[in-house]
Structure 1
Amino acid sequence: MRSDVDVLVVGGGQAGLAVSHALTRSGLEHVVVEQGRIGHTWDGRWDSFRLVTPNHTIRLPGGEYRGNDPDGYLARDEIAEHLRGYASSFGAPVSERTRVEALRVDGGGFVAETASGGIRARRVVVCTGAYQRQHRPPFIADFARRLPVVATTDYRAPDLLPAGRVLVVGGGQSGCQIAEELSRAGREVVLAAGRAPAVPRRVAGRDVFDWLIDLGFFEQTLAQLPSPAARLASNPLATGANGGHDLNLRTLAGRGVGLIGHVVGIDGDRVVAADDLDECVATGDRVFREVCAGIVRLALSRGWPAPEVPEMPASGLDPAPAPRLADLAVVVNACGYRPAYEWIGVPGVVDDVGFPIQVDGASTRVPGLHFVGVPWLRTRKSPLLIGVGEDADLVVDRLAAA
């Protein structure tokens, strides 16, 4: 397949579809190429996965949530079906199962190489997701030589893991959700903690994300972060499972999950963990208290009664003994993800952390190259269902004006 198109959109997830919607509205010729099926990233989550933000935060342009449970949390399959319905609603020109292997500058435009040939485009919008590659610290390979290792992208359900004790490495949102699910299923679990922020699920009957929206949390910009590397930090711990409830290191310990510091390697038959569980717990507690304090200030500023907020205990948590490999049946690698843009054949297109160098979605290195759905592209909400549409409209308005 070799064809010419004005705008090529690489990626058919929420970002790519939001861009396609805006391009369709603007009358710009385009095609969207998606390496799998529309919604396949959501399809690839574990069986019980649900949104961690309320359904009403699905605010794609022309594809907003219109169901009867705005404060609930859509299941994995429902999220994917919502995206497929969104694409159908405006006839998005999506070519599924078309993976772009390489993108190169060619004359006054670009050529995207796929297994079935090249696609020549005048402009390109890259919408390949917030992060593209699972992070595998070197010690994960050491585990894999001794034990089964399952990535979060491959995890589906507790009964599909080998029987026995489970070590979950990585204390971010996915790792903590999986650890909780395994514990609820009666599995013995050890979690290698991380410095993820903790938040209450609800305050005064209102979802924490509604409070955070009003607090301007999602409007924060990259300039407000302590460093560019902070873009790789964990999101607030939250879960939409079982109606949505608090999820943090303390709730996991209360369920009987053994907690250790972050894993640094293997020594003989024993897992070696850092002596930093106290710091991990303290980080989560500190953010929890800051968020609660912000909610109280916001309520008072609006003339509302001061809401009753939950409190974290002052005491720390005792670490579990570092497990022996002989006592483990499987390791779940939940160490997060990293950006991956090596397939774009332009030197210097990304920064030292691996994110595109851009201003409001436009590459500062390559004219005609744009990005949407990148973490902190403009604000914290840039890759999310609540905010990606705003960035898509901004980028397409620029394309339409060119």
Structure 2
Amino acid sequence: MSASTTSSPLPRHSVVIVGGGQAGLSVSHGLQALNIDHQVLEKHQALHAWRTQRWDNFCLVTPNWQCALPGHPYAGDEPHGFMKKDQINQYLAGFKAAVNAPLREGVTVELVQPVAGGFLVRTNEGECLAEQVVVASGGYHAPIVPRLAERLPAHIQQIHSADYRNADQLPPGKVLVVGSGQSGAQIAEDLHLAGRQVVLAVGDAPRCARFYRGRDVVDWLADMGYYDMPVSQHPLREGVRDNTNHYVTGRDGGRDIDLRRFALEGMELYGVLEALDGDTLRFAPKLGEALDQADRIYNGINAAIDKHIAAKGLEAPAGGVYEALWAPAEERETLSLADAGITSVIWCIGFAPDFRWLNAPVFTGRGHPVHERGVTSVPGLYFIGLPWLHTWGSGRFSGVARDAQFVAERIAHHRAHQAETVSAASAGRAETSLA
């Protein structure tokens, strides 16, 4: 029997936060400061994605100084370095301990839906009521694997980037990496440095320099105000949320990722993977175009930095324009799996959102939530931790604190408004009874 059908009243919370990652814990930090009762529900363990969905050599692609979770800024001795996987998890463990959220782990939220006075929250451990709900489960839920994967020969090992750990987990032979966003480019590099033969299907991901004119590009962009620009002022507006992240790496102290250099060193580059006919992979003949566009964005970012330096009259080492080290002699559109000796495939084409458990009219046809800085059209329902929720840093350690504080304050405002409404209604009933 459902808890909602028993005679006992359901447990009630002012706020339920769904998700115990850095976003959910950040909102808890804000609510505790405002003395607002809440519960954080996490289906695994708090911050588990950082422990379970990163490869062994994973490191941050943004400098450590940008790790600025609420009340827990980076305090190490390498602010311009890039924490590795174990260091990131140590930093996050410290954040979890500092927040000390009212957290329940191992609790799967199966349904959230609006009801009178708030929301019904159904979990694998029962039901409760919440006056307000914060969805902090992120937007990367279902690994994307194309249907053509079903037709690959059975002997070829297939994994998603979320399951990649190191080169040794793959069988001998060539590895096909599909996708060249941040994960795809870094995994291809990881395999390449491990001495594996890699075939990379290149998409339309942009790239940027790691260092330019004497500083990390992130430092320059911070000075230029890029990380404070709200999505409402971005030239693409909400469309920027669909953009692929620039590929670059913090590995070995940080460097560019240049796919053209990889090609000179033996990596095989193709265009976007489009189809599979029997044993033959088919690619879009647009490799050269993709590489050229990535370089245009790379040079465009550097040119913006040049303009900033000139406008401010700053002293900095001379800049320059990247010139291609390599270009494909021709567009290769087909590749035989057997002839190439491909024995494994890593799908690095991202994740799809999965909010089927949230029964509220706040989604686009593609399943993405509609919101303004995390506030939805359903009173009392919020999102946090999504890419470009408000700024570039919204889905990262650098910007989630600001978003969490905003959401916490909106929650407090909503509670105050509800209290005023109830008080006014009570006063109205009292006047009516005296009439």
3-state secondary structure, aligned to 1:153? helix
Tell me the TM-score normalised to structure 2 length.
0.87
Report 1:117-132 matches (<5 A). Answer: 117-132=126-141
Contact 2:276 2:282 in 1 (8 A): yes
Q: Does the CA-based 8 Å contact 1:13-1:83 persist in structure 2?
A: no
Contact map agreement 2:214 2:317 (CA 8 A) in 1: no
Equivalent position of 1:26 in the other structure: 34
Letter in 1 for 2:70: P
Which residue in the other structure is 1:50 paired with?
59
The residue aligned with 2:269 is: 259
Q: What SS does the corresponding residue of 1:382 show, helix, strand or coil?
A: helix
In structure 2, the partner of 1:63 is: 72
Higher share in helix: 2
Which residue matches 1:351?
Answer: 364
Within the alignment, does 1:341 sit opposite 2:350 as a pair? no
User: Which of 376, 381, 386 pairs up with 1:374?
Assistant: 386
- Deviation at residue 228 of structure 1 after TM alignment: 4.5
Instruction: Determine the structure 1 residue equivalent to 2:23.
Output: 15
Counterpart contact for 2:61–2:250, Cα < 8 Å: yes
Structure 1 segments unaligned to the other structure (5+ residues): none
- Counterpart CA distance in 1 for 2:290 and 2:141 is 26
- Once the two structures are superposed, residues 93-125 of structure 1 have per-residue CA deviations (whole angstroms, 9 ceiling, x without a partner) of 111222212212222111222211123211101
1:357-385 deviations in whole A, cap 9, x for unaligned? Answer: 11221111x21101111222222221111
Deviation string for 1:23-71 (max 9, x for gaps)?
A: 1111111111112222211112111100110010011110111111111
Q: 1:156 to 1:173 in 2, by over 3 A?
A: same
SS in 1 for 2:307: helix
- After TM superposition, list the pairs within 5 Å mapping 1:52-201 onto structure 2: 52-143=61-152, 147-201=156-210
Give the whole-Å Cα distance in 1 for the aligned partners of 2:306 and 2:76.
Answer: 30
The 2-side partners of 1:220 and 1:264 are apart by 36
Post-superposition Cα deviations, 1:64-87, rounded to whole Å, max 9, x if no partner, equal: 111111111111222222222112
Q: Please report how far the alpha carbon of residue 287 of structure 1 lies from its aligned counterpart in structure 2 after TM superposition.
A: 0.5
How far, CA to CA, are the matches of 2:17 and 2:159 in structure 1? Answer: 32
Q: Secondary structure at the match of 1:323?
A: strand
Greater Cα radius of gyration, structure 1 or 2: 2
- Percent identity over the alignment is 38
* Larger CA deviation: 288-297 vs 210-219: 210-219
Bigger mean CA deviation after superposition, 134-143 or 329-338: 134-143
Which of the numbers 294, 299, 304 marks the counterpart of 2:314? 304
- Taking structure 1 as reference, are residues 297 and 93 closer, same or farther at Cα in structure 2, changes over 3 Å only? same
Determine the C-alpha separation between the residues in 1 that align with 2:189 and 2:18: 35
Contact 1:169 1:192 in 2 (8 A): yes
Give runs of aligned pairs for residues 270-281 of structure 1, distance below 5 A. 270-281=280-291
User: TM-score under structure 1 normalisation?
Assistant: 0.94
Partner SS for 1:180:
helix
Equivalent residue letter for 2:359 = G
Deviates more, 1:185-194 or 1:217-226: 217-226
The residue identity in structure 2 corresponding to 1:394 is F
Residue identity in the other structure for 1:22: G
Question: SS of the counterpart of 1:190?
Answer: strand
What's the CA shift for 1:147?
2.3
Is there any run of 5+ residues in structure 2 with no aligned partner, and where? Answer: 4-9, 415-435
TM superposition shift of 1:333: 0.2
Offset at residue 126 of structure 1 (A): 0.6
- The CA deviation at 1:146 is 6.0
Question: For 2:109 and 2:173, how far apart are their aligned partners in 1?
Answer: 40
Tell me how many residue pairs correspond in the alignment: 400
For the 8 Å contact 2:26–2:400, the answer to whether it is kept is yes
What is the CA–CA distance in structure 2 between the aligned matches of 1:290 and 1:229, rounded to whole Å? 19
CA shift for structure 1 position 227: 6.9
Match of 2:427 in 1: none
Q: Which moved more, 1:386-395 or 1:216-225?
A: 216-225
Deviation at 1:355, TM superposition (A): 2.1
**Equivalent residue for 2:48?**
40
Residues 158 and 92 of structure 1, relative CA distance in 2, 3 Å threshold: same
